């Protein structure tokens, strides 16, 4: 999930690997592990590397300071724009006198605003989380006001027209400046600047309401504490230490434990709990929670449709796809439907194979078998197939991935491949960097780990990277990379402001001397998110709005998706694995068996992703506004999942067809992936093409890694993504490798 700070989500509610659901590894005892991660780089460290040329951000905001500072940033921007409108006219507007003030203010604002909004996802203080959400609401409305000012639009339009009709009239500007102006001008048009009078005000009101709905949705979702109370006997199949780690019930729940719907709990439960009725109850409870979000999602869909039609678009998808690589519905819909049609039979064969296993299992355990294969059966029987047919014991695999050693090995791989040097900042270092000498204000929680990142030869500073590895109440419950400060060229034209990125994760926390163990799926996910962090840190654009992960939404996942391939090679797995007792690498036989599972059930898993994409397109392409208003979101969600995957659900057992409220927790569609979820599969076309072309034969070649860093990651969103791909590949990108990887040559 890419940079959430820049609304480039990479929520990874679903990671398309063979291990869609595996056990939370047991926590072994008797080993001497420090509870806090300590990184030791293989590169030579010196004391001065802990004192970078740019101070790290300070995380000392309070409820009161956010209430004052959030509107303060809005007032600052308004003053800049007011002065610009008063001093420059469309007749003498140039890139320098128009965009100079705008971008200088933007750079100052973004270094503060992203952090102000970040607390909503990570703070342990609920009051600060609420204040952060309110700050985001204020700033979103402020951005809407700034982006719909007619006086500023006329200046932008003048610069845009001059750049497209003459050469050199605006002084010395480069291709990146032109690209920025082109995107900015079209963005103003999408903000309704072509509308007049009351229609423009109606458009602004609709956009403002959408922002409010998004924030309410996110607050409800992140604040959800739903659990399902079950007895230990009902959870048979989960490791005993996992059951013992769950909260104990009192009163009417005496003798029961609370299974949460956070990934570390619900994922292994659906994979390992033996009782099919209990798995059914867990699955239904997970997909029918946060019900207050159902009407919020529906209203957002209606308001998006309303706003798009005001601008003259056929529907919201037509508007939202205009600035993506795919460009239009006529490209996206055939892509999703064509992939579905090519994979559907394969998915049904996979279901049939698991259903045969289910039949034998039910007969052996004297359980009723009705011939159907349900949603809540998939992970359970997939896990059995991986263990029995591929001889991969996930618990044994996890023993080779203790959290601290695995992350250390990952950082060392990135150091070697992309010529970087990660220097962990100690408590003493953070205190020395703090303006007040207080190390606590240099992170947002005591568990957070901070790194100063340098060039591999220590010749230059790159930026800061933070890791927030463990779950806690109120924290964002999945895995994502957040941009805290973007990188950009300072106004002197020479020096840079260096980027700051944070990885927010939810791994089990080490307990005393007991290490946390990662599943292979955890390893893939973290490598993916670390890839987003490296993308952000590698950005070397002039302007913040084009930096790092600020690419087209249907490309932003490609760099990290490409890196997932490293987690399926013998070379990388041998470097990453280190048994928590013996320090030995994973045996070749187990490694080979693990790699052989990469495409197990891939047809069905990809169909699930396609189902999400088709649901997204369905609700954002109504034939009329009346059709948008009449949408039954829950019905469309259930139909999309059932018809695309072929899996059965509660509707096949007598429940209403719209039984699910899965859309209530589908954060992507309220957080920036609206009419864009197809991008996860779309970007895989390019990620696979890059891997096969440049890295497949030699994935750890530092020369290729350096070329990739500078030709792809460094460019950010400063040029058309097709241009970036063609320059790196040496030819136009194509889908051959993507279909080959899926076995669809």
* Catalytic residue numbers, as ranges: 529
Beta-carbon neighbour count of residue 521 at 10 Å? 21
DSSP helix/strand/coil, 110: helix
Cα torsion angle, 634, 635, 638, 639, sign? negative
Closest by CA position to 725, among listed 555, 544, 557, 553:
555
Task: Tell me the C-alpha distance between 396 and 590, whole Å.
Answer: 9
Bridge-based pairing of strands 500-504 and 461-468 is parallel
Task: Tell me the C-alpha distance between 418 and 456, whole Å.
Answer: 8
Task: Tell me the C-alpha distance between 391 and 468, whole Å.
Answer: 34
Task: Tell me the C-alpha distance between 465 and 484, whole Å.
Answer: 10
H-state helical runs in 311-328: 316-321
Task: Tell me the C-alpha distance between 549 and 539, whole Å.
Answer: 8
Task: Tell me the C-alpha distance between 196 and 180, whole Å.
Answer: 25
Task: Tell me the C-alpha distance between 442 and 440, whole Å.
Answer: 5
Residue 605 near residue 599, CB atoms below 8 Å: no
Residue 695 near residue 706, CB atoms below 8 Å: no
* Residue partners of 262: CB distance under 8 A and separation at least 6: 471, 477, 506
Residue 146 near residue 38, CB atoms below 8 Å: no
The angle subtended at Cα 123 by Cα 28 and Cα 465, nearest 5°, is 70
Closest by CA position to 243, among listed 516, 33, 23:
23
Place of tokens 């997932």: 564
Residue 471 near residue 506, CB atoms below 8 Å: yes
Torsion of Cα atoms, 229 then 234 then 240 then 244, to 10°: 20
Closest by CA position to 601, among listed 569, 646, 563:
646
Task: Tell me the C-alpha distance between 539 and 550, whole Å.
Answer: 9
Closest by CA position to 742, among listed 395, 189, 247, 343:
343
* Phi, psi angle pair for 140, to nearest 5°: -65, -40
Give the DSSP per-residue string, 526-577: HHHHHHHHHHHHH---SSGGGSTT-S-TTTTTHHHHHHHGGGGSHHHHHHH-
Residue 638 near residue 666, CB atoms below 8 Å: no
Task: Tell me the C-alpha distance between 674 and 185, whole Å.
Answer: 22
């Amino acid at each position: 999930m890419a940079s959430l700070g820049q609304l480039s989500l990479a929520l990874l509610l679903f990671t398309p690997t063979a291990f869609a659901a595996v056990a939370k590894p047991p926590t072994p005892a008797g080993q001497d592990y420090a509870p806090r991660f300590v990184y030791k780089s293989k590169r030579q460290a010196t004391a001065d590397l802990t004192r970078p040329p740019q101070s790290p951000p300070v995380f000392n905001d309070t409820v009161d300071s956010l209430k004052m500072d959030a509107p303060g940033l809005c007032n600052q921007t308004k003053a800049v724009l007011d002065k610009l409108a008063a001093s420059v006219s469309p007749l003498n507007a140039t890139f320098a006198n128009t965009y100079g003030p705008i971008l200088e203010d933007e750079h100052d604002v973004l270094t503060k605003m992203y952090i102000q909004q970040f607390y909503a996802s990570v703070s342990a203080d609920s009051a600060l989380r609420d204040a952060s959400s309110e700050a985001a609401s204020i700033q979103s409305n402020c951005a809407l006001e700034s982006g719909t000012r007619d006086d500023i639009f006329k200046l932008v339009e003048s610069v845009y027209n001059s750049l497209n009709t003459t050469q050199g009239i605006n002084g010395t500007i480069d291709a990146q400046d032109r690209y920025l102006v082109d995107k900015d001008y079209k963005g103003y048009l999408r903000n309704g600047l072509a509308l007049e009078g009351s229609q423009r005000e109606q458009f602004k009101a609709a956009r403002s309401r959408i922002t409010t709905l998004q924030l309410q949705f996110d607050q409800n979702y992140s604040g959800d504490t739903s659990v399902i109370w079950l007895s230990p006997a009902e959870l048979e199949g989960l490791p005993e230490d996992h059951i013992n780690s769950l909260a104990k019930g009192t009163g009417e729940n005496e003798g029961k434990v609370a299974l949460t719907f956070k990934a570390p709990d619900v994922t292994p439960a659906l994979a390992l709990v033996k009782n099919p009725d209990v798995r059914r109850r867990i699955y239904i409870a997970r997909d029918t929670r946060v019900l207050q979000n159902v009407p919020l999602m529906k209203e957002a869909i209606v308001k998006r449709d309303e706003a798009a039609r005001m601008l003259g678009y056929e529907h919201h998808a037509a508007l939202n796809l205009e600035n993506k690589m795919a460009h239009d519905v006529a490209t996206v819909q055939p892509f999703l439907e064509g992939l579905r049609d090519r994979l559907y039979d394969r998915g049904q064969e996979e279901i049939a194979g698991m259903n045969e296993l289910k039949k034998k299992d039910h007969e052996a355990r004297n359980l009723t078998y009705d011939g159907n294969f349900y949603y809540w059966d998939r992970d359970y029987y997939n896990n059995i197939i991986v263990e029995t047919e591929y001889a991969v014991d996930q618990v044994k695999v996890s023993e080779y991935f203790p959290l601290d050693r695995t992350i250390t090995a990952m950082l060392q791989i990135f150091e070697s491949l992309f010529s970087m040097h990660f220097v962990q900042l100690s408590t003493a270092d953070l205190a020395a960097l703090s303006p007040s000498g207080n190390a606590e204000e240099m992170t947002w929680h005591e568990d957070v780990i901070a790194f100063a990142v340098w060039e591999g030869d220590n010749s230059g500073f790159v930026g800061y990277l933070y890791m927030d590895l463990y779950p806690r109440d109120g924290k964002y419950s999945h895995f994502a990379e957040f941009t805290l400060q973007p990188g950009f060229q300072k106004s002197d034209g020479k020096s840079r402001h260096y980027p700051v990125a944070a990885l927010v994760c939810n791994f089990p926390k080490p307990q005393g001397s007991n290490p946390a163990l990662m599943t292979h799926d955890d390893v893939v996910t973290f490598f993916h998110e670390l890839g987003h962090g490296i993308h952000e840190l590698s950005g070397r654009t002039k302007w913040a709005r084009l930096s790092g992960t600020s690419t087209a939404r249907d490309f932003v996942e490609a760099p990290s998706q490409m890196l997932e391939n490293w987690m399926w090679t013998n070379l990388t797995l041998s470097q990453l694995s280190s048994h928590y007792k013996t320090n030995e690498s994973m045996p070749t036989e187990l490694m080979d068996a693990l790699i052989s599972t990469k495409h197990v059930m891939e047809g069905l898993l990809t169909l699930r992703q396609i189902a999400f994409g088709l649901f997204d397109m369905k609700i954002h392409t109504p034939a009329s506004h009346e059709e948008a208003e009449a949408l039954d979101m829950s019905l469309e969600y259930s139909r999309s999942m059932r018809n695309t995957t072929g899996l059965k659900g509660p509707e096949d057992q007598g429940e209403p067809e719209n039984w699910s409220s899965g859309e209530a927790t589908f954060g992507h569609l309220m957080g920036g992936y609206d009419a864009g979820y197809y991008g996860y599969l779309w970007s895989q076309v390019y990620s696979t093409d890059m891997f096969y072309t440049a890295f497949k034969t030699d994935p750890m070649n530092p020369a290729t890694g350096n070329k990739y860093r500078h030709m792809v990651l460094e460019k950010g969103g400063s040029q058309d993504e097709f241009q970036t791909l063609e320059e790196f590949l040496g030819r136009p990108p194509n889908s051959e490798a993507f279909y080959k990887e899926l076995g669809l040559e």
